[in-house]
């Protein structure tokens, strides 16, 4: 069974439309019915997918990390673990035979575990959040989750969310937006990286920096312009100078009514919207052309 093609939608500036376009393309692929497709929403703070689609819960589970736990009977208070811990999570007072591990500070890096030569540190599972798997259509799944621990666990949360199994053709990932480590993790290991840019939010200095970072991580981004009727000549020159391909230009979608009027298709993707259908159709053709499925 070939690996799914991983297509990631990423907005360097929150609110530029990556959610909108990824959910829209997900719906488009689902309607075509020639492949099964899954949507992975990496926004662990405000997961959107289940509020945008009329989905039903199929499965859920915990996202965990392995936390250290000290066995005081084995410990000889040598302090090696406390010295190894870069986060000052272990406190030792040999005078009163005291050792304690502060789980609020612990980042589950396992440096202490690897240091202790007296087998006094073991592991236990520590919950950092939940994942949920939803069925949307027969051929379409949605994965999302909520982080319920400190932000420094976000990378491991995203890794586990993205590793939830799916064996269909297209895996669409909604990256965490902005320019954090979480955002970089959510675009890691993608086959096609689509950067969604709203011309109204473009700033050359900021985007130069982002592009350098993406290239340093071996990403060649393709661009979709959202709200393309906003004219920004600086952006057009920047795209040209950096040799970036515009895959699609999406006009602003104005809708009568609201999301609740059409639960089957969310407010911003009315079924059969000619402009969007044309954009998704050309995006689909591009994706089919550049992905070679082994075997
Ligand atoms: S390294 Fe092991 S034995 Fe030494 S203080 Fe830490 S837990 Fe105790
Ligand atoms: S796992 Fe890492 S952060 Fe946690 S106590 Fe051990 S060394 Fe410190």
Question: Any idea where the domains of the chain sit in the sequence?
Answer: 5-63+128-290, 72-119
What are phi and psi for residue 216, nearest 5 degrees? -60, -30
The answer to whether the beta carbons of residues 131 and 61 sit under 8 Å apart is: yes
pTM of the predicted protein model: 0.86
Q: What is the mean pLDDT of residues 45-73?
A: 88
Return the CATH number of 5-63+128-290, one of 3.40.50.300, 2.40.10.10, 3.40.50.880, 3.30.470.20.
Answer: 3.40.50.300
| pLDDT (0 to 100) of residue 290 | 78
Distance 110 CA to ligand 2 centre (A): 5
Q: What is the mean pLDDT of residues 131-137?
A: 93
Work out the pLDDT band at 295, boundaries 50, 70, 90. Answer: very low
Distance of CA 29 to the CA centre of its chain: 20
- pLDDT(272) > 60: no
Query: What average pLDDT is seen over the chain?
Result: 87
| pLDDT (0 to 100) of residue 116 | 97
Residue nearest to atom 6 of ligand 1 (CA): 81
Residue nearest to atom 3 of ligand 1 (CA): 75
Distance 99 CA to ligand 2 centre (A): 13
Output 49 or 21, whichever has higher pLDDT: 21
- pLDDT(55) > 90: no
pLDDT in tens, 147-182: 999 899 999 999 999 999 999 999 999 999 988 889
The Cα diameter of the chain in Å comes to: 76
Measured between alpha carbons, how far is 146 from 125 in angstroms, rounded to an integer? 17
| pLDDT (0 to 100) of residue 274 | 63
Nearest bound ligand to CA 103? 2
Residue among 124, 91, 99 nearest 110 (CA): 124
The answer to whether the beta carbons of residues 211 and 221 sit under 8 Å apart is: yes
Query: What b-and-e string marks burial along 227-258, b requiring 16 or more CB atoms within 10 Å of the CB?
Result: bbeeebeebeebbeeeebeebbbbeebeeeee
| pLDDT (0 to 100) of residue 21 | 86
pLDDT in tens, 2-22: 789 999 999 999 888 888 888
| pLDDT (0 to 100) of residue 264 | 44
| pLDDT (0 to 100) of residue 262 | 43
Residue 157: Cβ-neighbour burial (10 angstroms; 0-12, 13-18, 19+) = buried
Residue nearest to atom 6 of ligand 2 (CA): 112
Output 247 or 111, whichever has higher pLDDT: 111
Protein residues whose CB sits closer than 6 Å to any atom of ligand 2: 68, 84-85, 87, 89-90, 101, 106-112
Q: What is the mean pLDDT of residues 37-65?
A: 88
3-state secondary structure 6-18: EEEEECCCCCCCH
Distance 232 CA to ligand 2 centre (A): 48
pLDDT in tens, 78-128: 999 999 999 999 999 888 888 999 999 999 999 999 999 999 999 999 999
- Domain 72-119, second-level architecture: 2-Layer Sandwich (3.30)
| pLDDT (0 to 100) of residue 76 | 94
Distance 155 CA to ligand 2 centre (A): 16
């Amino acid at each position: 069974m070939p690996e799914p093609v991983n297509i990631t939608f990423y907005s360097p500036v929150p609110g530029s439309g990556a959610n909108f376009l990824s959910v829209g393309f997900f719906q488009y692929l689902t309607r075509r019915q020639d492949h099964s497709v899954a949507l992975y929403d990496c926004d662990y703070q405000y997961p959107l997918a289940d509020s945008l689609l009329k989905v039903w819960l199929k499965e859920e589970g915990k996202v965990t990390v392995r936390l250290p736990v000290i066995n005081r009977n084995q410990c000889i208070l040598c302090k090696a673990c406390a010295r190894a811990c870069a986060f000052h999570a272990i406190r030792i007072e040999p005078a009163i035979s005291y050792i304690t591990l502060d789980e609020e500070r612990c980042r589950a890096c396992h440096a202490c575990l690897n240091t202790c030569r007296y087998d006094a540190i073991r592991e236990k599972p520590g919950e950092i959040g939940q994942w949920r798997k939803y069925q949307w259509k027969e051929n379409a799944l949605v994965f999302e989750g909520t982080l319920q621990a400190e932000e420094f666990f976000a990378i491991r949360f995203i890794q586990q969310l993205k590793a939830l199994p799916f064996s269909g053709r297209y895996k669409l990932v909604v990256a965490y937006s902005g320019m954090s480590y979480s955002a970089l993790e959510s675009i890691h290991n993608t086959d096609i990286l689509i950067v969604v840019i709203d011309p109204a939010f473009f700033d050359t200095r900021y985007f130069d920096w982002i592009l350098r970072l993406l290239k340093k991580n071996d990403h060649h981004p393709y661009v979709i312009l959202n709200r393309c009727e906003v004219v920004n000549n600086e952006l057009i020159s920047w795209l040209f100078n950096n040799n970036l391909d515009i895959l699609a230009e999406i006009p602003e979608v104005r809708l009568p009514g609201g999301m609740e009027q059409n639960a089957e298709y969310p407010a911003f993707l009315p079924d059969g919207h000619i402009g969007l259908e044309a954009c998704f159709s050309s995006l689909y053709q591009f994706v089919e052309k550049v992905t070679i499925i082994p075997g």
